A and B are shown apart, each in its own frame.
Chain A
Amino acid sequence: MSEVRPVPLNLRNSRILPIRFEYYEPTSLDEALELLDKLGEEAKVLAGGTDLIVKMKMRALEPKHLINLKRIPNLNYIVSDSESIRIGALTTWSDLEKSDIVKNELPALYDAVKAMGSLQIRNMATLGGNICNASPAADSAPPLLVYDAKVKVVSKQGVRVIPLTEFFLGPGVTALRSNEVLTEVVIDKHNVSVGSAFVKISRVATDLAIASAAVMIKLKDGILEDVKIALGSVAPTPVRAKSLEAALVGRPAKLEEVKQYLNLLEKDIKPIDDVRGTAWYRREVSKVLVYDAFLKALNRLGGCSL
């Protein structure tokens, strides 16, 4: 008879993280940057913790130093002026949900907020954390990609502004250097349209996406003047569907038109098989999700024609 052993998950799943680390609580951004500059590669930055703590629990990440950013004031804000909308990195998903700016001006992001996690997770998780965790399934990514968002990253050496399209490099890998902190998401108002939407398919409501899609459209006399499409969970990073976008710009804003070109999506995505779904399923469902997001976006512009 074989011995009964705890499965690895249970072995590691304790009320204490199974690793030891030094803990820091900087109360200003300068102090945090100083620490990061010194500790570099061996440090991890903690915001909401809904991804990082779980990864540390599973020993997928074993940082020697943990820098908690939550005591730094003034990193939680959503402001809108005539040029842009700026969102602080420590803004929680609940803050996004309560914001009229998000609801009225960034409907695709609002859809994503409503679709993400549970109320408890939304109270904890931050927008900056969702981006830096760089999951291909990150719910904030497709909406921010269609709005052509940029992220502001800061280090002791200075400030960099990186377009989100260049920020994601692979699953969990970003352009963020080990001494940098993401402090702000900036969305130019020229890239925003009420005609935008996000849809996601997941097994149950609080799960990660099997696939997700966001669409942003601008119309002029019934013609698609500007089209941006982004997808999640169908490639190593959240991706823009540039082939499909290019084909649709200048076409009539009709769902029949969109349908004709949907197969172009296959050029833009590289789905894989995993526990949540197969590559084949993801490829097929992506087309449906983009179609649905288009319909939702067109409706928000005041109705659509087939």
Chain B
Amino acid sequence: MKRVVRFKLNGEYVEAEVEPNELLINLLRDKLHLTGTKYVCGIGECGACTVLIDGKPVLSCITLAVDVNGKEVVTVEGVSKDGLTPVQEALMEEGAIQCGYCLPGFVVMGEYLLKERMEVSEEELREALRGNLCRCTGYVNIVKAFKKAFEKRGLKS
């Protein structure tokens, strides 16, 4: 039986009809056409589908669409609504992007970490990013970019 879900998506209220067996990533990509969020492993291992629900990073590939009713969802489109985020800029400057498929997940994590933490050591960064897999770069430049983003915000890295 279809259900109507109402939730805040990237700052705006939206309403959609969903089946109970539909996953959040399907609603985002195929119905609301927000294709920034990527579908990769589909079983909660890789982090490419990371979105923020009520401010916390979670995986949209193993979240039921019906479950976001009444909540606030922010996708990669939402975090970069007012132009590139500090993390996106730093990722470009550090050459941390190759195929780019994992990147939306990293960008959403970056937004979360910059809001959540005042300072972060390299170890903490790697720890926080361990759920985001990148098969191209080997993480060195990604971590460099995150550190740079923290520095740019005038915070200690």
Residues of chain A touching chain B, judged by Cβ–Cβ distance below 8 Å, are: 13-23, 25, 46, 49-50, 53-54, 57-58, 66, 68, 70, 94, 117-121, 123-124, 204-206
Q: How large is the interface on B (under 10, 10 to 19, 20 to 34, 35 or more residues)?
A: 20 to 34
B141 at the interface (CB under 8 A from A): no
Q: Contact between B131 and A66 (Cβ–Cβ < 8 Å)?
A: no
B57 at the interface (CB under 8 A from A): yes
Q: Contact between A120 and B42 (Cβ–Cβ < 8 Å)?
A: no
With A21-B20, A53-B62 already in contact, the answer to whether A94 and B43 are too (CB < 8 A) is no
Q: What residues of A have a CB within 8 angstroms of the CB of B61 in the complex?
A: 15
- Provide the bound-state CA to CA distance between A237 and B112, in Å: 37
B67 at the interface (CB under 8 A from A): yes
> Closest chain B residue to A46 by CB distance?
B64
B26 at the interface (CB under 8 A from A): yes
The interface stretch among B44-52, B77-85, B146-154 is: B44-52
B107 at the interface (CB under 8 A from A): no
With A16-B21, A66-B20 already in contact, the answer to whether A120 and B3 are too (CB < 8 A) is no
Minimum distance in angstroms from A159 CB to a CB of chain B: 28
Q: Contact between A22 and B26 (Cβ–Cβ < 8 Å)?
A: no
9 A-B pairs with the lowest CB-CB distances in the bound complex, closest first:
A118-B131, A23-B20, A15-B26, A17-B21, A53-B62, A13-B42, A123-B56, A205-B130, A54-B43
* Beta-carbon contacts under 8 Å, B29-83 to A: 29-30, 39, 42-45, 47, 50, 56-59, 61-64, 66-67
> Closest chain A residue to B128 by CB distance?
A119
A206's contact among B45, B50, B56, B57, by CB below 8 Å, is which? B45
B contact face: mostly helix, strand, loop, or mixed = mixed
Which of B23, B25, B44, B57 has the most CB atoms of chain A within a 10 A radius of its CB?
Answer: B44
With A120-B131, A205-B130 already in contact, the answer to whether A19 and B56 are too (CB < 8 A) is no
Q: Contact between B21 and A50 (Cβ–Cβ < 8 Å)?
A: no
Q: Contact between A15 and B131 (Cβ–Cβ < 8 Å)?
A: no
Residues of chain B touching chain A, judged by Cβ–Cβ distance below 8 Å, are: 1, 3, 19-23, 25-26, 29-30, 39, 42-45, 47, 50, 56-59, 61-64, 66-67, 109, 128, 130-132
Q: For chains A and B in complex, what number of residue pairs have CB atoms within 8 angstroms? A: 93
- Provide the bound-state CA to CA distance between A19 and B22, in Å: 10
- Provide the bound-state CA to CA distance between A50 and B19, in Å: 19
Q: Contact between B30 and A120 (Cβ–Cβ < 8 Å)?
A: no
Q: What residues of A have a CB within 8 angstroms of the CB of B109 in the complex?
A: 119
A contact face: mostly helix, strand, loop, or mixed = loop
Interface pairs (16), CB distance under 8 Å: A15-B23, A15-B61, A16-B21, A17-B21, A21-B21, A22-B20, A23-B1, A50-B44, A50-B62, A53-B62, A53-B63, A117-B131, A119-B109, A121-B44, A121-B131, A206-B131
With A15-B39, A16-B21, A20-B21 already in contact, the answer to whether A119 and B64 are too (CB < 8 A) is no
Assuming A25-B66, A124-B58, A206-B131, what are 17 further A-B pairs, CB within 8 angstroms?
Answer: A15-B22, A15-B42, A16-B22, A16-B26, A18-B21, A21-B21, A23-B3, A23-B20, A23-B66, A46-B64, A50-B59, A53-B63, A53-B64, A54-B44, A70-B67, A123-B56, A205-B130
Q: Contact between A17 and B23 (Cβ–Cβ < 8 Å)?
A: yes
- Provide the bound-state CA to CA distance between A54 and B1, in Å: 21
Q: What residues of B have a CB within 8 angstroms of the CB of A58 in the complex?
A: 43
